[in-house]
Structure 1
């Protein structure tokens, strides 16, 4: 396995197929090129390396990278200046979108690859306050505040015309019952009340619940993400094929596949890595994604990560992603302590 580790590290560093002669010159191995060729042949039979085209050298397969990442990798901690740059940049801001954009940009700049951060899931936001303002006819402007300071606006169309006092009564009722609860909890409670408890509800309560349903019903919009530095991927020879690039950029623009892939990472703790076809998407067959979820108030709300070629320096990328996720969560939740 040490020979496989050396081969993969050399390939990641140089980007060229690695031959037995190159490995035999490594001072760590006191083996002849012939012996190394035999070992490489065994590794090839195991599906861990392969020979591209007619080259005498070998490159890792996805299985080889997976074994390397899971068992042979030595992760390097961030240097102090890198940590300071991240911690100074990822601080609490008035607009959470700004700190999310900063996290994506920093990941891209530090790795020279693409940095991606999903926006916090709406159902994991917590209602602090809601107001209704009358517009024309039956249109109502809803203003609601979530978490610490996030303000949202939405226009709903009601089934009847409401006066300003009636809208104020509805808002007062919803604030008294649902303030501090997650939007997901509110949606479920609203549906249950409309189905089960109509008879015990007075008209103010019923009107309020109906307006809450219009406000917090599941959005048909795709969950979004911030992607920065995707053009960096054009600089890697293994991703420079025109068809590969077109597939990759189409996947970025369509978003759905990327979101589905990143959503899988919310179900597991710590850093997650998809290598090549492990992603399940043709567009990412020559890419790796190193991701980590980030949390606000001890609840996972999103995922961030780095997208690059399978030939990436995993030992450096992993700590960038891990530390950035912790700092982003702390910045979005100023009451929490900064990670050490």
Structure 2
């Protein structure tokens, strides 16, 4: 995303025309001519004056003239100016708010809540809705249990604050009885419960190094078992991310995305997931709603798209990101509040479990 402080300064009149032009283009998807602009702007100005203002905006890179039309369309810089400085958000009406609140049944499993969020985003915005599956590393652990299996294998059951249950089979240095494993479970839950996985890994390793000589044999075993149970999931030290998506076919309704090559690239991106996951990961590290317009995403596949994201939290910790993907002429004033509120309600529903 660009730094708004580096944008050129334009007059209030030019800003007004840019705002009116973008709102008209978002609504119709057609280049906006001077006559249409004069009518929509509600200002008593000569056609020559309007053409001069449009020429100035074009020179500054905020609008462009497609070679097939005398009208203008917004550029990425124009959209950025519009979003950062000219946009007035529309409050959600009561019908949409009720629909959002009723769709999230806190009795549902977290996976079902995430799926509901993606479908709801898609249906309310008529765009593609994407929701990152909560990252295990960033979800607080509520309880840990160890269940004996055959020989020196133990099933680790991790219950998170979001209500998810993760299972993992580990191998131990010796065979543990059921009662010993219960003691290990109680010890680890007591000492490390309420922390996220990343913190638990760090604390366990620290305790193993600093206090091993002062612990009895069973507690040493507890730390060793915990170390295996909470080991990194990937060779590169990062847990695998994932997201669910709904409404990809909505993108076929927009002429600027409906070309077969563009659609194929977009659908491939949804299937392969890596580029979109990287974009969602970037949003994890930022505060509040993030908007990537066209080339700002850094990915060629999304050069004709805008992505609007918002993080969702459980127990005041960001555990994932959700958002929508559509053409650059997204109705930003309506879509941004939907994305923001959906993130808040999803986080609340996960926490309530």
**TM-score with structure 1 setting the length:** 0.93
Assess if the C-alpha contact under 8 Å between 1:93 and 1:99 holds in 2.
no
Shift of 1:192: 1.4
Instruction: Give the 3 Å change call, closer, same or farther, for CA 108–64 of structure 1 in structure 2.
Output: same
The CA deviation string for residues 117-149 of structure 1, in whole angstroms up to 9 with x for no partner, is: 112221222222222122223321111212163
Shift of 1:27: 6.0
Q: Equivalents in 2 of 1:246, 1:137: separation in Å?
A: 50
1:161 maps to what in 2?
175
Counterpart of 2:40 in 1: which secondary structure?
Answer: coil
2:122 maps to what in 1?
108
Q: Equivalents in 2 of 1:148, 1:114: separation in Å?
A: 25
The CA deviation string for residues 144-197 of structure 1, in whole angstroms up to 9 with x for no partner, is: 212163322111122333333332232232123222222222110111123333
Moved more, 315-324 or 188-197: 188-197
Counterpart among 56, 64, 68 of residue 42 in structure 1: 56
Q: Does 1:258 align with 2:276?
A: yes
Q: Equivalents in 2 of 1:27, 1:311: separation in Å?
A: 19
Q: Does 1:303 align with 2:336?
A: no
Q: Does 1:32 align with 2:50?
A: no
Assess if the C-alpha contact under 8 Å between 2:132 and 2:321 holds in 1.
yes
Assess if the C-alpha contact under 8 Å between 1:48 and 1:63 holds in 2.
yes
Instruction: Give the 3 Å change call, closer, same or farther, for CA 66–106 of structure 1 in structure 2.
Output: same
Q: Does 1:321 align with 2:339?
A: yes
Q: Equivalents in 1 of 2:39, 2:162: separation in Å?
A: 59
Q: Describe how 1:49-128 pairs up with structure 2 within 5 A.
A: 49-128=63-142
Instruction: Give the 3 Å change call, closer, same or farther, for CA 24–181 of structure 1 in structure 2.
Output: closer
Number of aligned residues: 335
Q: Equivalents in 1 of 2:65, 2:347: separation in Å?
A: 43
Q: Where does structure 2 lack aligned partners over 5 or more consecutive residues?
A: 1-14
The two structures, once aligned, show a CA RMSD in angstroms of 1.8
Q: Equivalents in 2 of 1:199, 1:83: separation in Å?
A: 57
Q: Equivalents in 1 of 2:266, 2:162: separation in Å?
A: 37
Counterpart among 326, 329, 333 of residue 351 in structure 2: 333
Q: Equivalents in 2 of 1:246, 1:218: separation in Å?
A: 35
**TM-score with structure 2 setting the length:** 0.89
Shift of 1:253: 2.0
Counterpart of 2:352 in 1: which secondary structure?
Answer: coil
Q: Equivalents in 2 of 1:193, 1:315: separation in Å?
A: 51
Moved more, 166-175 or 83-92: 166-175
Moved more, 249-258 or 46-55: 249-258
